[in-house]
Structure 1
Amino acid sequence: MQLYTRSAGEGLPVVLLHAFPLSSAMWLAQREGLAAVCKVVTPDMRGFGGSVLGDDEPSLDVMADDVARLLDREGFDRAVIGGQSMGGYVTMAMCRRHPDRLLGVILANTRAGADTEAARANRERVAAAVLDSGSSVLVEEVLPALVGRTTVQRRAMVFGRVRGLVQSAPPRAVAWAQRAMAGRPDSFDTLRGLGVPALVIVGEEDEVCPPADAEAMVEALPDGHLTVIEKAGHLSALEQPEAFNRAVAAFTAELAGGAPPHG
C-alpha cells in the first residue's frame, strides 16, 4: 500500500478501503463530498492503482497491517476504518488485528462469513484465468454482478466508469487479492466482540452481498446500525454516492459528538 489520497477536511479521520477489483479512484465522490466533515484517506491496496504488490503471501491480515502502517504515517492514533466489498474484509481483519486503532467501523456491501469450498475454488479459477488471459476475464465474469439493475438500466456513465476500473486491474494484484479473500476466516466472532460502533451499508439491489448478509452482521454487532441504499447494487458508493455520503457523514458526526450513531 504505497499510493493514497488524503482530503484536507476537518473532523475525524476516515480511511476508506476500495472494492475488488477496483482502486482508490472509486472514492472520488467520497473524497469530494465528505471533505467538509472528515479527513478522508483513500489508499490503494496492494498492487492496485499503481501501488506495489510486494512478495508477501496472499492474506487479508497483510493488508490490514498495511492499513495500520498507513495510520502511523498519517499520524493517526485511531481512525474510522471503512471498506466496501473486499475493503470490508480488510476492515474486519483490522478489527481482529488492530482493534486499538479503531474509532468506528464502516462495513459496506460485504459479509462476515468465510467462503464456501465452492466459492474458494471459483476464486482460484478466476485467479488462474486472469494470470493466463489478463483482466478481460473480469469484464465477463465479475463486472455484471458489481452494479445493480438500476445502474445498468439508467446510469450508463457510472457503469462505463466501473467497467474502465475493472479493465485496468493488474492481473497479479487480482490473483493475489482473490487468494487472500479465499483464505479469510469467518468474522462473526470478531464482530460480536467489537468495542466501537459500526455502520453497515448495503445496496438494496446487491446480489453479491445481499441485504440478508448485512442484517446478519448488524445482529452480531454490539453497536451496529444498518443503512439500506435504494436503487444501488454492490458498489453503492459509486452508484448512489450522495446517499452513501449522507450515511457516513451522519455516522462520523455522531461518533465525534459522542451520541449513539444510527443508519
Structure 2
Amino acid sequence: MTPRHRTLRRPGCEIHYWTGGSGDGAPIVLTHGATLDHRTWEPQIEAFAARHRIVLWDVRGHGRSIPNRSAWSLRAAMDDLLAILDEEGVERAVLVGQSMGGNLSQEIVHHHPGRVSALVALGCAGNTLPLSRRERIQAAAVVRMLPWYPRGALIRQEARASARNPRVREYVRETAARMSRPDMVAVMASLVGALHPEPGYRIELPELLLRGEHDRLGNFRTSMPVWERRDPLACHLVVPDAAHLANQDNPDFFNGAVLRFLAEHGLDSPKGRHDDVES
C-alpha cells in the first residue's frame, strides 16, 4: 500500500504529508522525531493501514517540508498538524509520536484534548511531568551547548544512539544531513522548551508509553513509570532488542503492541472511533 502524497501551504513552509488506509478504526496520525521524516514509519504503514486511516507527515524543516522560511517552534509545528487534520476532515485521531513527535502530540493533548482519541508516545519525555533540579540544570546546559556543537559530530552521535540496526542508523544520518543548522538547533532546543511541569495535571485519555530496551537518550527509563502512575489510562511497555527508534529496530513488537492497545480501547472499530471523518 502506497500512501497518497499531499501538500498544504502554511506560514513560511509548504507541508508535505501522506494519507492512506481504509479500515474502520480510529484515524492514526504518525509524527516522526527530530531531524527525521515520515519514512520513520515505513515498517508501520501496512499493519496500521489495514485497520485504520493513516496520516504521515514531514514536520516543517524536515524531509520534504524543507525549506522552512520562518522561525521553527513546536507551537508552529503543532498548528501545522491541526491544519492537516482540518484539511482531511479528521475531528479526532490517535496521535502516535516518536521522540519530538511524542512531545508535539502531547502539546495537542494538553491544548486540544477534544481532537485526540488516544496517545502513543515512543521514546519521549513527559512534557508536563515534574523535573528534578538536576534535570533542569542538564536541560539548560543542552540549550546553551547546541549552537556551538559541531554539526557533523551531532549527526554521528544521533545516528549511533538512535538504533541498533545499521540500516536505520544510515537513514538517520542521511535525513539529519538534509536539515539546516538553524532548524536543527531550534528543533532540539524546543524539546527542552516543551517541558513545562503542570502539578495536578493528568491525561484522561488512553495512553501507550513505549521505550526501547537499549534507549539511553533522555530520562525515559525513570520518567515513563512515573507517567504511567500519574495517568489513569496509561500503560508503559519496554520494546525488547531496540534503541531510540524502537519502531524500526523491532517493528513486529511495536506494531503488535499498538494494535492490541487500540483494540483494548475499542479504537479499531467504528463503535470506538469517536471521530467525524469526511471521505
Measured against the shorter chain, the TM-score band is 0.7 to 0.9
In 1, the alpha carbon distance for the partners of 2:257 and 2:107 equals 23
- After TM superposition, the structure 1 stretch with the greater mean CA deviation from structure 2, 197-206 or 250-259, is 250-259
Structure 1 pair 167–55 and aligned structure 2 pair: CA distance change class (3 A): closer
Q: How many pairs does the alignment contain?
A: 247
Q: How does 1:60-209 map to 2 (within 5 A)?
A: 60-112=74-126, 113=129, 116-129=136-149, 135-147=151-163, 151=164, 155-187=165-197, 189=199, 192-209=201-218
CA shift, 1:101, in A, is 0.2
In 2, the alpha carbon distance for the partners of 1:15 and 1:217 equals 22
Q: Show CA shifts across 1:158-209 (max 9, x none).
A: 332333223333323212212322322335658x422211111111111114
User: Residue 4 in 1 paired to residue 17 in 2?
Assistant: yes
CA RMSD between the two structures: 2.3
Which structure 1 residue ranges, 5 or more long, are not aligned?
none
Contact 2:159 2:170 in 1 (8 A): no
In 1, the alpha carbon distance for the partners of 2:47 and 2:147 equals 34
- After TM superposition, the structure 1 stretch with the greater mean CA deviation from structure 2, 175-184 or 39-48, is 175-184
Alignment-mate amino acid for residue 26 of structure 2? L
CA shift, 1:96, in A, is 1.4
Q: Show CA shifts across 1:84-127 (max 9, x none).
A: 11111111111111111010111111111566233333234324
Give the TM-score, by structure 1 length: 0.84
Which structure 2 residue ranges, 5 or more long, are not aligned?
1-13, 273-279
Q: Show CA shifts across 1:23-74 (max 9, x none).
A: 1111111122311021121111111012152424x43222222211111011
Contact 2:160 2:169 in 1 (8 A): no
Return structure 1 stretches of 4+ with deviation > 6 angstroms.
none
Structure whose residues are more often helix by fraction: 1
Contact 1:138 1:166 in 2 (8 A): no
